[in-house]
Amino acid sequence: MGLLDRFRKGGGGFLNNVDGLITAFRFTTDPDFGGKTFDASKAKMLKLWAAVTVLVDGSTKPETVHLDAGDSDGLVISEDGQALTPATEEAMLWGNTPFMKFYESAVNAPNGITDVEPEEDGTLNFGGLVGVRTRFVQVKDEEADAKLAKWVKANPKKAAGKYNEAGERKGKDGKYYGARNPQVTEVYSTGNDVSGAVAARPTTTTTSPTKRGTAAPVAPRKAKGNGHAADVAIVGFSKTTLYGILEAAKGNTITVRGLNMAVTRALPDDPRREAVRTYLCNE
């Protein structure tokens, strides 16, 4: 059963009415919104983003859009950023997100891509998106506008001058615009060569809010016997980190979800952070 079958049970304005080639794809918890700093320590949850890089026909420079993919809790990003592996039984990829709507449109479009089949360990590999030539459009996100409209109603002073009652954001031109997300209307071909395309600026899978593209992601080894992704050094460092978190926590206890964010705050710039998070959530 494909990924979309499971979900059925239950911004990038430049990609509008254009044809283009997806030259790169990666998941990240450290998005680059045009150079703006993303402070994960202030977020209610550590969000997962899907960075889709597209070379639009007629352009010489690829552009990248970051699509919200939900909560990253318990999901391990592969070294190449194209696959997700659940580290806990509760870990899952959210279905009703801009990324999943984009992916679903790519599957359901005429000549659509093949739906992802989870591997034995639950890994979902979206590498098949790279090399796809397709037609992109922008689709209004009515759900996002409705949620923002509700917030505007409850916070009129904070929203004043930034959003209108419909939940639309005020642009630099003074006009208001609703949330829109890119989707696919037709897939022309897949497996195209992207080696000649100019690559987008690389980022790592670390969640550092201040240092981007400097720390190589940790690729932990699987420890013999229990199948958990950890090595001796990471185990020791993880335990030391956990002791510090528990010592500072109220009642010296913390939930798994709370631990996820606590690790982010405890190790803001440490390249071992994802390995520590994976080990602690497993244990």
What pLDDT is attached to residue 223?
36
Q: What is the pLDDT of residue 214?
A: 28
Six-digit token pair at 197?
A: 């395309």
What are the boundaries of each domain within the chain? 3-140+179-189, 142-177, 232-282
Neighbours of 163 (CB within 10 A): 20
Cα 229 to its chain centre, rounded Å, is 21
Which pair of tokens denotes residue 161?
A: 């001058």
Distances (CA, A) of 17 to 138, 175, 188: 7, 21, 14
Distance in angstroms (rounded) separating the CA atoms of residues 70 and 50: 10
Where do runs of H (alpha helix) occur along the chain? 3-9, 98-108, 142-154, 156-159, 232-248, 256-266, 273-282
CA–CA separation, 138 and 178 (whole Å): 11
Of 16, 7, 46, residue with least CA distance to 30: 46
pLDDT of the residue at 241: 84
Q: So what's the pLDDT on residue 52?
A: 94
Return the pLDDT at 222: 38
Report the pLDDT value the prediction gives residue 19, as an integer from 0 to 100: 92
Residues of the chain with pLDDT under 50: 1, 4-12, 199-230
Secondary structure letter of residue 234 according to DSSP: H
Identify the pLDDT of residue 280: 78
- Asked whether 170 and 163 are in contact (CB, 8 A), the reply is yes
